[in-house]
Structure 1
Amino acid sequence: MTKLTVIPGDGIGPEIMTQVVRVLQHVKAPFEYEEHQAGEVALHTVGELLPKATIDSINKNKLAIKGPTTTPVGGGHKSINVTMRQLFDLYANVRPVRSLPGVKCVAPDVDLTIVRENTEDLYAGIERMIDDNTAESIKRITRKGSERIARYGFDLAQRTGKSKVAVVHKANIMKMSDGLFLKVAQEVGWQYPSISTKDVIVDNACMQLVTKPQQFEVIVTQNLYGDILSDLCAGLVGGLGVVPGANIGEKAAIFEAVHGSAPDIAGQNKANPTALLQSAVMMLQHIGENTKADAIMKALIAALSDVNARTGDLSGHGSTTSFTDAIIQQLG
């Protein structure tokens, strides 16, 4: 059995996490569940947004699933997600974006994955005030960071049978930083002759994603661009409530819902567990449990196709619990 750190999170987090664990237990996923807290609930109970016990659990288990957490505005609190990425060197942010049956969306037949570098670029937070009226932020790109995210993207494409990788950049303007990223990504791409590599300037990538997203399979990009493109692509397929995510490194892997904690509907049995359940599917694939992952995905798609099963945010008549019941019924 694999020990799994479970972080329910804030708002709707505990509700959707309970349902996801129900599904994992139903398919007899090989996990021992070890629950720990992070976010506002942890701040109120133990005085820390990310308690040492949670950090220690992830360090020990190397695998975690996390519900949405809230970082209080102001007060000098650092983002929990950014802290985790830095603590565990989770250099690859992986966001599959897929059109799902029963989910009203802008673009049908989308099936792409954004592979975003997760530790450097402008998000490294290297900033200073030059004077009272001038702020400066440093964009740091390294060969090491560029090479490992590019290799992750090409390996993912190869492993999942994809034939195209798009490297997104702004090297026409930032000739040194983005130029280095593009150069290194192209060097990695040459080592995968069966995969077609193209480079796309980020503003053009935005237009192409809106007008013809079906042309993309795997996108490899830097931290800031990846953050923006991930939400743009989520908007194409129905929003963040139906899109999973993962932060992966050599030391650990954390799978998470990328949407917010939605405190306005917390405790009302209205929350949609689709994003977090798909993150659990990614987690099963990560540990080689592909049969169980495929079974859950098939059951989820069947439940989403039923208006009486899916939740109200997807124009359905179901609740958090009844939607999960329908998924479990499909699993048999």
Structure 2
Amino acid sequence: MTRKTVAVLPGDGIGPEVLDAALPVLADLDLPLDLEFGEIGWDCWRTGGNPVPDRTWDLIGRSDAVLLGATTSKPRREALAELAPELREHAPQYLSPIIQLRQRLDLFANLRPVENHLGGGTPYRFCVVRENTEGLYAGLDFHPVPNALWPLVAEHPNARRGGPDDATASIRLQTSYGLDRILRFAFETARRHGYGRVTLADKPNVLRRSSAYVRERLEAVAADYPELPFEVLNVDAVALWMARRPERFGVIVAENMFGDILSDLGGGVMGGLGLAPSANIGERGNYFEPVHGSAPAMAGRGRANPAAAFLTIGMMLEHLGFPEAAGSVHDAVRQVVRRRDRVTYDLGGTATTTDMARAVIEAGQRTTSAPTAAVVTIGDELLRGDLADTNAADAARMLAERGIAVRVRHTVGDDEADIADAVRPSLGRDDVIVVMGGLGPTSDDVTRSAVARALDRPLEHREEAWQGVVERLTRFGVTVHDDNRRQALFAEGAELLPNPGGTAWGCSAASRGSTVIMLPGPPKECLPMLAAVLRDGLPDLPVPAATTTVFRRTLGLVEADAAALVDVLVKDSGVPVKPAYRWHYPYVDVRLDCPPDAADDLAGRLDAVLARYVVTDRDRTAVQELALLLDRYGLALDLDDRLTEGTFATELARERDRDRATSGAPSGGTGPLRVSLSGVWEGGNRTTYTGTVTLTCTVADGTGRRTDELTVPNRGAEVTTYFAEFAAWSVARHLTLRTEESA
């Protein structure tokens, strides 16, 4: 492929720092691109009297694309005040770099994608196409009103009261040339990117004559795109529906001022300008720019959100003919902003600009993200607690065995709107959405219509399913009612899933990259059906990058203690891993899923910070670990077990018996291992569960003596379990250290 040149113009304010943070992603992608850096912006104006120097125009002229950081613009008075003194006498007219680029390169189209990057709520994906050269921003803005224009302005009674010097006038210029090319650009964008509709945002109920002409041009251009529906809506209605139902739009096209307002509203809809990329495309060039502006007050503070810069780079790559690379950048940003653990302040996080940029680059380095699932179980009886929701747990286990991690689970009642609201947020976000329950013949079985509503498809009768219902009921001598017909209704285009064990067939439907699997509620029916779908009925899913799990079970920590130690460790390691913690009395488990080549280093770091607390690197208790060690070395304990009142000895004996039964380990001798366990209560006692207990365990044998001490909350009767596990841990540590010393 021919190499392409990108002119990188970092600009000023936060422009340089967001581009510095985001540009390394291009090196990772290894594309045939040459980056050449140039100057633009406020410093160029202050020192040279031109925010776009001639040398920058030369660079732009020989480049295939321009990547712009952000530039500062100020009113004429402030601009002149900051100009170098030697330039003020012959002060040039200040014209912002953005305006210069648009005018000189004839960049007639501004493109602003709007997408639900943050997840949650209804998925949406649309874009605003703004005309850059005409409309109310055409520059036909007058004060005082010129003599040639005054006769028209004077028709308004307010104008006549003051005269030309006390009135202003602006003209909304729209030409067939300008209209046709922006409308054609909008339809081409819809066709190329799969947007399903073109909406013209105008004001036909007020600007009647000009809007009527715009509609004529729209209808003429639309004739060349018969597959794309189009509409004309009042711009204020478009603004309302962008906020209320953004999913209804595809491409919104508008004249300059209306498009300016709507495109910034789009930034607000998706969570802020920190997520808003843009492109300006024209007859003689282009530039791609994050929308957030230069924000000089934030410059150098490391708080700017780099997501818009990454998304802008993605738009540029697609324009240059690298759609796969563009998609990988887009997906990496989506992963990071939805995970929310390494994001900047505007998204509710504490990460710096470079921290968040590093997270995006790391997400892109993972060849594919692990497939995810959502599980939705349905029934008022589940919410009331009449039935245990075993389906959700069984489905999660089956999905995990297929390599699909369950990201979220919902339990909702028999309410159509609630079910649809539970399904919608996962469309386009999760690979698989399993919906279970509510497919019976009664009026409270509303899952079918809810799923169809979430998919935005009508219900259709499927005769094959109906005949299956009739055949099964007839075979067992059961009356077929009209209500049974609802069991043959499915979302349009869904693939049927026969139910060998009942009348409620399921279905599978693809939407926005997700597969929705709708199943009946009875476990004996739904679980075999789900197993069949997971085995044979799913499309090829992403293959997650290889990972290795580093696991440690700790005693003597609470979750907050563990997180305080481990989170810093992971951050400092620079490894793309999210720690997971599990509290199950008296243990805290720490799990790190990481790239295989980082596992040894991470394990060493983890052991260094948790050394005092690690019980085992396996899913076993301290008592279980001690039982294995005692049998391995042929030892028995001389145990003072009054503190646990025999619980420790009983549990240890049970585990040793179990190990011998499964492994054939020797029964052991009576080695000289003496163990003494004691406790001192502070603020409570054995029957009053307050305060703390300081535990002391002393282990002695022929090689030496070792004492461990630990203070634990005296939280309840279960504290005896803590005593036993602490004693086992102490003895196991003694044996391990003895073995290491002898080696």
TM-score (norm 1): 0.94
CA–CA distance in 2 between the matches of 1:66 and 1:115? 19
CA–CA distance in 1 between the matches of 2:291 and 2:340? 24
Aligned pairs for 1:297-312 within 5 A = 297-312=330-345
**Contact 1:4–1:65 (8 Å) recurs in 2:** yes
For 1:34, the equivalent position in structure 2 comes to 36
Query: Which one of 350, 356, 364 corresponds to residue 323 of structure 1?
Result: 356
**Contact 1:40–1:72 (8 Å) recurs in 2:** no
For 1:168, the equivalent position in structure 2 comes to 201
Query: Which one of 138, 142, 153 corresponds to residue 186 of structure 2?
Result: 153
CA–CA distance in 1 between the matches of 2:226 and 2:210? 26
| 1:292 to 2:325 alignment | yes
Three-state SS of the structure 1 residue aligned to 2:211 is helix
Three-state SS of the structure 2 residue aligned to 1:124 is coil
| 1:137 to 2:139 alignment | no
Summarize deviations over 1:101-139 as a string: whole Å, max 9, x none: 36x9xx642211011111111111112222321111121
CA–CA distance in 2 between the matches of 1:176 and 1:78? 33
For 1:16, the equivalent position in structure 2 comes to 18
CA–CA distance in 2 between the matches of 1:61 and 1:177? 38
CA–CA distance in 2 between the matches of 1:55 and 1:301? 35
What's the CA shift for 1:331? 2.0
What's the CA shift for 1:218? 0.7
Aligned pairs for 1:127-276 within 5 A = 127-128=141-142, 129-130=144-145, 131-276=164-309
Three-state SS of the structure 1 residue aligned to 2:127 is strand
Three-state SS of the structure 1 residue aligned to 2:106 is coil
For 1:99, the equivalent position in structure 2 comes to 116
| 1:114 to 2:128 alignment | yes
Query: Which one of 83, 87, 96 corresponds to residue 79 of structure 1?
Result: 96
Greater length-normalized contact order (CA 8 Å, ≥ 6 residues apart)? 1
**Contact 1:3–1:32 (8 Å) recurs in 2:** yes
**Contact 2:274–2:304 (8 Å) recurs in 1:** no
What's the CA shift for 1:8? 0.4
Query: Which one of 85, 89, 97 corresponds to residue 106 of structure 2?
Result: 89
**Contact 2:222–2:230 (8 Å) recurs in 1:** yes
What's the CA shift for 1:307? 2.9
CA–CA distance in 1 between the matches of 2:97 and 2:352? 29
Summarize deviations over 1:198-242 as a string: whole Å, max 9, x none: 111112212222221210111111111100111112111111111
**Contact 2:288–2:315 (8 Å) recurs in 1:** yes
Q: Report the more deviating stretch, 112-121 or 316-325.
A: 316-325
Three-state SS of the structure 1 residue aligned to 2:35 is strand
Alignment RMSD, CA only?
1.6
| 1:7 to 2:9 alignment | yes
Three-state SS of the structure 2 residue aligned to 1:199 is strand
What's the CA shift for 1:264? 2.0
Q: Given residue 60 of structure 1, which amino acid in structure 2 is its aligned partner?
A: R
Q: Given residue 298 of structure 2, which amino acid in structure 1 is its aligned partner?
A: I
Q: Report the more deviating stretch, 175-184 or 200-209.
A: 175-184
Three-state SS of the structure 2 residue aligned to 1:208 is helix
**Contact 1:113–1:217 (8 Å) recurs in 2:** yes
CA–CA distance in 2 between the matches of 1:235 and 1:124? 26
**Contact 1:71–1:77 (8 Å) recurs in 2:** no
Three-state SS of the structure 1 residue aligned to 2:23 is helix
Summarize deviations over 1:145-196 as a string: whole Å, max 9, x none: 1001111110111111222111111133223323222211121112211111
Summarize deviations over 1:233-270 as a string: whole Å, max 9, x none: 21111111111101001211100011121222211222
CA–CA distance in 2 between the matches of 1:74 and 1:100? 38
CA–CA distance in 2 between the matches of 1:200 and 1:121? 17
Q: Report the more deviating stretch, 182-191 or 107-116.
A: 107-116
Summarize deviations over 1:257-313 as a string: whole Å, max 9, x none: 111212222112221111121111001111110111111111111122333311122
CA–CA distance in 1 between the matches of 2:337 and 2:279? 22
CA–CA distance in 2 between the matches of 1:82 and 1:182? 28
Q: Given residue 204 of structure 1, which amino acid in structure 2 is its aligned partner?
A: A
Structure 2 gap segments, 5+ residues each? 78-92, 146-163, 366-743
Q: Given residue 107 of structure 2, which amino acid in structure 1 is its aligned partner?
A: L
Q: Report the more deviating stretch, 244-253 or 296-305.
A: 296-305
CA–CA distance in 2 between the matches of 1:148 and 1:42? 34
Q: Report the more deviating stretch, 142-151 or 232-241.
A: 232-241
CA–CA distance in 1 between the matches of 2:47 and 2:30? 32
Three-state SS of the structure 1 residue aligned to 2:182 is helix
Q: How many residues align?
A: 329
Three-state SS of the structure 2 residue aligned to 1:305 is helix
Q: Given residue 314 of structure 2, which amino acid in structure 1 is its aligned partner?
A: V
TM-score (norm 2): 0.43
Q: Given residue 113 of structure 1, which amino acid in structure 2 is its aligned partner?
A: C
User: Which consecutive segments of 4 or more residues in structure 1 shift more than 4 A?
Assistant: none
**Contact 2:14–2:295 (8 Å) recurs in 1:** yes
